[in-house]
């Protein structure tokens, strides 16, 4: 079928085109929500604006990631593309070295101001684009992630718990839309929870501008018991994992058997047509043939009991998940094993099963971390110290924020949820990497689309909605 043989190339005479035609929509989005003006108003890092303003530098790095760039050096591909410059109405854009110098201008207070500048725009968009039902509960998640670097002279780098040299950023995100609210850089040897409470508090104040209630969610590192009473008094819910300490195991073992209920996992996907026959499990067969140790899940049960941490003045609800496991070697069963997983919460209106499922949904934040690392490439750490790399990761991660904002403008029936959860690379090919001819004249920049995909209709309808968007 691939029968083309006499393939030739030639240069077009006057046609100017770019492969990332969707970037124009995101530039309009940045203007309409007031991001450009807010960056110039709040950030004061340049003494003279000749020729660039603060917003030019920030958006230059964001657009580099948004158009498929993976490193600072990829900016060169865009700044030498005349059609790309015409598409954004620019005479020139900052070079990679200039972009790196701009990141070095940041002090810690400037990075926090940059985060707050972007965040002050979010509640307006949430109130306008999320329904009242979607704004009943804001789920704020926190996690630490290791950002490795091969450099040896980067100030602030250190060895992480897994032996990797680099940094250990803290990510605080909104699970409802997958937006990174706060991204905080730290040395590689710092614990995951260090400083997390203060950033969670800031996130709670932020989301309360649009959502009725707030809930914190995280793994065992973020079960900061010293803050539980304060969060409960402020009407903030929380569901955290809890380390399987000896006293908790003893309490779980002491529960009567009638208090344990079997856990029925939710069906991941309902097959609408006739189900296909499942192929044989090759991995399972090899494990048995070679007589490797094999741990197999037999059953799961849940129960709950009250528990008062030492740092708290009241008891909280602990939900315990008991996994009954079978340890096998080849065809022989060696012994049974029982493992406990604990979750602590101040919620009282949900069943134990719902608490377990809610806590397990935290895995979606792992997907966000993966996208920031290897999709947006915001954690490359290309500059030479902790604060400048912090500034870089915040500016580069703005590409993911623009993706989320664009998805919020899509109507429910037009695949909004699919765009929100979509991997960044697929999003680039669906929405951003649209080949367009660029025509400038008569006070406008015309993007003439040169191809059609199944996302083109959604893109055009959303762009029409975007042009009518105005924030006050």
Going from the C-alpha of 212 to that of each of 135, 208, 451, the distances in angstroms are 6, 7, 43
Q: Which of 237-241, 461-465, 468-472 has the highest mean pLDDT?
A: 237-241
pLDDT, average across residues 279-294: 88
Whether 328 has a pLDDT exceeding 90, the answer reads: no
Q: Residue 472: pLDDT above 70? A: no
Q: Which of 107, 103, 121 is nearest to 39 (CA)?
A: 121
Q: What is the pLDDT of residues 6-65, one digit of tens each?
A: 887 877 766 789 999 999 999 999 999 999 999 999 999 999 998 999 999 999 999 999
Instruction: Report which secondary-structure segment, H or E, holds 448.
Output: strand 444-449
β-strand pairing of 436-441 with 316-329: unpaired
3-class SS at 415? coil
Segment 204-217 shows an average pLDDT of 97
Q: Please answer whether residues 36 and 55 qualify as being in contact, where contact means their C-beta atoms are separated by less than 8 angstroms.
A: yes
Residue range 207-218: mean pLDDT, rounded: 96
Q: Is the pLDDT of residue 294 over 60?
A: yes
Q: Given this model, what pLDDT does residue 284 score?
A: 86
User: Are 319 and 342 in contact, with CB atoms under 8 Å apart?
Assistant: yes
Q: Which of 63-67, 136-140, 294-298 has the lowest mean pLDDT?
A: 294-298
What are the start-end ranges of the E strands in 260-315? 261-262, 293-307
pLDDT in the model for residue 90 = 93
Reply yes or no on whether the pLDDT at 416 is more than 80: yes
DSSP-derived 3-state class of residue 182: strand
Model confidence band, residue 411 (pLDDT cutoffs 50, 70, 90): confident
**pLDDT given at position 361:** 92
Strands 444-449, 147-148: parallel, antiparallel or unpaired by DSSP? unpaired
Query: 452: helix, coil or strand?
Result: coil
> What is the average pLDDT across 444-448?
92
Q: Which helix (H) or strand (E) holds 254?
A: none
Q: What is the signed CA dihedral for 392, 394, 395, 400, rounded to 10 degrees? A: 130
Whole-number percent of the chain with pLDDT over 70:
98
Give mean pLDDT, residues 415-424. Answer: 93
d(CA 230, CA 227): 5
Residue 167: CA count within 13 A, CB half-sphere: 29
| Length of the chain as a residue count | 472
| Mean pLDDT on 214-238 | 97
Q: Look at residue 266 and tell me whether its pLDDT is greater than 80.
A: no
| 221 vs 243: CA distance, rounded Å | 8
pLDDT (0 to 100) of residue 329: 86
Cα gap 183→137, rounded to integer Å: 22
Give me the chain's average pLDDT, please.
93
Residue pLDDT, tens place only, 187-208: 999 999 999 999 999 999 999 9
> Counting beta carbons within 10 angstroms of the beta carbon of residue 445, is it exposed (0 to 12), middle (13 to 18) or buried (19 or more)?
middle
Confidence bin at 471 (pLDDT 50/70/90)? low
Strand 213-218 relative to strand 236-242: parallel, antiparallel, unpaired? Answer: parallel
The stretch 169-185 carries a mean pLDDT of 97
Contact between residue 179 and residue 119 where contact means Cβ atoms under 8 Å apart: no
pLDDT at 273: 80
* pLDDT of 261 strictly over 70: yes
Report d(CA 31, CA 138) in Å as an integer: 26
Digit-coded pLDDT (tens) for 306-327: 999 999 999 999 999 999 999 8
pLDDT band at 5 (very low <50, low <70, confident <90, very high): confident
Between 280 and 235, the more confident residue is: 235
pLDDT > 70? residue 249: yes
pLDDT in tens, 66-113: 999 999 999 999 999 999 999 999 999 999 999 999 999 999 999 999
> Is the pLDDT score of 413 beyond 80?
no
Q: Quick one: 5 exposed, middle or buried, by C-beta within 10 A (0-12, 13-18, 19+)?
A: exposed
* Residue 173 clears pLDDT 70, i.e. is over it: yes
- Whether the CB-CB separation of 145 and 365 falls below 8 Å is answered with no
């Amino acid at each position: 079928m691939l029968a083309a043989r006499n393939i030739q190339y030639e240069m077009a005479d006057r046609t100017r085109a770019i492969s990332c035609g969707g970037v124009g929509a995101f530039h309009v989005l940045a203007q309409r929500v007031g991001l450009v003006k807010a960056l110039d108003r709040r950030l004061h890092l340049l003494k003279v604006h000749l020729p660039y303003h603060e917003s030019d530098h920030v958006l230059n790095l964001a657009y580099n990631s948004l158009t498929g760039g993976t490193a600072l050096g990829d900016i060169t591909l865009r700044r030498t593309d005349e059609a790309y410059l015409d598409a954004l109405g620019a005479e020139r854009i900052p070079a990679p070295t200039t972009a790196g110098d701009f990141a070095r201008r940041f002090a810690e207070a400037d990075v926090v101001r940059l985060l707050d500048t972007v965040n002050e725009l979010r509640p307006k968009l949430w109130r306008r684009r999320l329904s009242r039902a979607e704004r009943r509960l804001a789920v704020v998640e926190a996690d630490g992630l290791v950002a490795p670097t091969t450099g040896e002279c980067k100030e602030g780098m250190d060895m992480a718990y897994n032996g990797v040299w680099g940094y250990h950023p803290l990510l605080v995100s909104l699970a409802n839309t997958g937006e990174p609210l706060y991204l905080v850089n730290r040395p590689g040897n710092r614990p995951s929870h260090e400083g997390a409470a203060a950033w969670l508090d800031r996130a709670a104040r932020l989301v309360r501008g649009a959502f009725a209630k707030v809930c914190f969610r995280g793994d065992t590192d973020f079960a900061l018991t010293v803050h539980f009473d304060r969060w409960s008094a402020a009407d903030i819910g929380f569901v955290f994992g809890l380390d399987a300490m000896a006293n908790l195991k003893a309490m779980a073992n002491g529960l009567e058997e009638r208090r344990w209920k079997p856990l029925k996992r939710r069906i991941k996907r309902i097959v609408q047509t006739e189900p296909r026959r499942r192929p044989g499990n090759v991995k399972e067969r090899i494990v048995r043939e070679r007589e490797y140790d094999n741990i197999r899940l037999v059953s799961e049960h849940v129960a709950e009991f009250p528990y008062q941490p030492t740092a708290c003045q009241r008891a909280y609800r602990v939900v315990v998940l008991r996994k009954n496991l079978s340890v096998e070697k080849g065809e022989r069963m060696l012994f049974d094993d029982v493992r406990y997983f604990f979750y602590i919460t101040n919620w009282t209106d949900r069943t134990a099963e719902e608490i377990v499922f809610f806590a397990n949904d935290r895995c979606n934040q792992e997907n966000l971390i993966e996208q920031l690392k290897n999709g947006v490439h915001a954690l490359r750490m290309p500059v030479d110290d902790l604060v400048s790399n912090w500034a870089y990761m915040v500016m580069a991660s703005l590409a993911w924020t623009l993706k989320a904002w664009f998805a919020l403008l899509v109507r429910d029936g037009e695949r909004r949820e699919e765009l929100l959860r979509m991997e960044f690379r697929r999003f680039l090919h669906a929405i951003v990497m649209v080949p367009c001819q660029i025509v400038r004249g008569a006070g406008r920049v015309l993007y003439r689309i040169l191809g059609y995909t199944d996302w083109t209709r959604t893109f055009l309808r959303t762009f029409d909605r975007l042009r009518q968007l105005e924030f006050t």
